[in-house]
Structure 1
């Protein structure tokens, strides 16, 4: 067990280091001069050069990377070129929108997908299975931004149950804040629920064909006990894997949804920083999202040991 944990931890650290190099290198080769974009095309060469010196853009590339990476390790992300405030303040403000949105969407996705996948697998080859998987296929095929626009039209424009966009902030109370996150969470959750339901169904159908399931049935165990006590636990590893990947996607990949609903989250912050050529914000937030994805995957890997006893025994 300890060897398994150590291996996963070393892998996560190495992946994080390589990701930092890739993120820094990719953004450095993006065309355009941040100083020129900030000052405008009418700025003189002297003004541009002075701003480049203040921003550290004239330093050697390796020195800039080490300075940036060291700041990331100390949670010092630098100052935004555009907003003139510490990046950590922007992140702290925006993550209070993106993180609850991702958690609500993941909870909705799991609550929908697991019962549907279990129901479909328990009726494998019958009408219920076909109907459930057809609905799941439709959910996979529909783009979440198109589905989000339908939700806005139905529940915000026509029925007027919830706001069409914006976020009042948690200072306005949990009720208004959660009400503003309902539609974005549903728009994110349903396509992910369709994927998770198909994975749950496939994993469970495969386990139900194993010899130990037939043995349990031959001993006279009820079908419900076989399904929930024996089959489901052995089918959880691919399901847990997809859930971890989905949470990472919901946290880091909400750029489109946050722009559709005008939510001041991390995805919208990255989008605005890219359009404003605010490299320090882009680098820092993208690296923070990469670190969150790696951390979630590490937690998923460690959760395997809880599901699969062979890992606890070092096999």
Structure 2
């Protein structure tokens, strides 16, 4: 197990290094002069030249890359020229919104999807299966921003149960902050729950055809125990894979939802940095998201061994 863990960490570090090269190269290949775009087309040549020097754009490309990577290794992601603040500080301020939002959405998605997937698999070919998978298909097809708009209209405008947007911060208490994240989390969770429910159903149907399931039924074990104790645990490998990918997507793919609900999260930070051509912020946030995906994949691999003892023994 230790050798496996070390190999996965090494692969993650190599992936992170390659991702840093790709991100830096893409930022460099974007058309236009970042200094000119930030100052505006009416800026003088002297002002543009001074900003380019301040941003380090006149240095050789390999030196700029090494300085950027070296700074990140010691926790220095650079300084935003739009916000006049360290990038790591901006990320920390926005992460306290995006991270809880992604966690709440993942929990909601799991709570909805796994029971629905088990229910549909246990009633394969019957009305319950058809209705459940039909609803899941609708959830996959409909974009999450449409769910967001409908949720705002029903629960914020019509029923007035929750705020339509904005975030009061955690300083005023946990409940006001959670109340502001309920609708965005539901809007993010519903499409992901539809995908996870379909994966859970497929995995359960494959497991329910195994010999040990038939043996358990032949011994008179209650159907609920067969489904939840035996079938679900052996069907969790693909489900865990999708859950890991979904959390990474929820953490990185909240740009639209955060703009719909005016949430000051990482998604809005990236969107604003792109529009203002604040490349150092974009690079820092993207690298943080890449690192989070690598860590999540490592945790999912460890969960495989916890769920299936056969994998732990093999490793």
Fold match (TM-score > 0.5)? yes
Structure 1 unaligned regions, length at least 5: none
CA-atom RMSD, angstroms?
1.1
1:23, distance to aligned residue in structure 2 (A): 0.7
Tell whether 2:78 aligns with 1:48.
Answer: no
Partner of residue 188, structure 1 = 188
1:12 aligns with 2:1: no
Residue 219 of structure 1: how far off its partner (Å): 2.6
Q: Is the 8 A contact 1:3 1:314 kept in 2?
A: no
2:306 is paired with a residue of what secondary structure?
helix
* Cα displacement (A) at 1:47: 2.1
Q: Which runs of 4+ in 1 moved over 4 A?
A: none
Q: Deviations over 1:143-200 (max 9, x none)?
A: 0001101111111111111111111111122121111111100000111111111111
* Equivalent position of 1:213 in the other structure: 213
TM-score (norm. length: structure 2): 0.97
Contact kept, 8 Å, 1:4 with 1:311, in 2: the verdict is: no
Q: Secondary structure at the match of 1:313?
A: helix
Aligned-pair CA distance for 1:222: 2.3
Q: How far apart are residue 220 of structure 1 and its match?
A: 2.6
User: How far did residue 298 of structure 1 move?
Assistant: 1.1
Whole-Å separation in 1 of the counterparts to 2:41 and 2:223: 73
- Give, in angstroms, the shift of residue 138 of structure 1: 0.9
Q: How far did residue 225 of structure 1 move?
A: 1.9
**After alignment, is 261-270 or 127-136 more displaced?**
127-136
The reply on whether 1:59 has 2:55 as its aligned counterpart is: no
| Correspondence for 2:312 | 312
171-180 vs 263-272, greater mean Cα deviation:
171-180
- What's the CA shift for 1:265? 0.1
Pairwise CA distance, 1:301: 1.1
Q: Is the 8 A contact 1:114 1:200 kept in 2?
A: yes
Shift of 1:4: 2.1
Looking at structure 1, the residues matched to 310 and 150 of structure 2 have their Cα atoms a distance apart, in angstroms, of: 47
Instruction: Give the match's secondary structure for 1:180.
Output: helix
Distance in 2 between the 1:11 and 1:260 partners? 37
Shift of residue 311, structure 1, vs aligned partner: 2.1
SS state of the match for residue 152, structure 1? helix
Residue of structure 2 in register with 1:94 after alignment: 94
Where structure 2 has 5 or more consecutive residues not aligned to the other structure, the ranges are none
How many residue pairs get matched?
315
TM-score, length-scaled by structure 1? 0.97
Q: Name the structure 2 match of 1:32.
A: 32
Q: What are the residue-to-residue correspondences of 1:13-162 with 2, within 5 Å?
A: 13-162=13-162
CA distance in 2, matches of 1:52, 1:300: 43
Give the distance between the partners of 2:286 and 2:224, measured in 1 at CA: 45
Separation of aligned partners in 2, 1:96 and 1:38 = 28
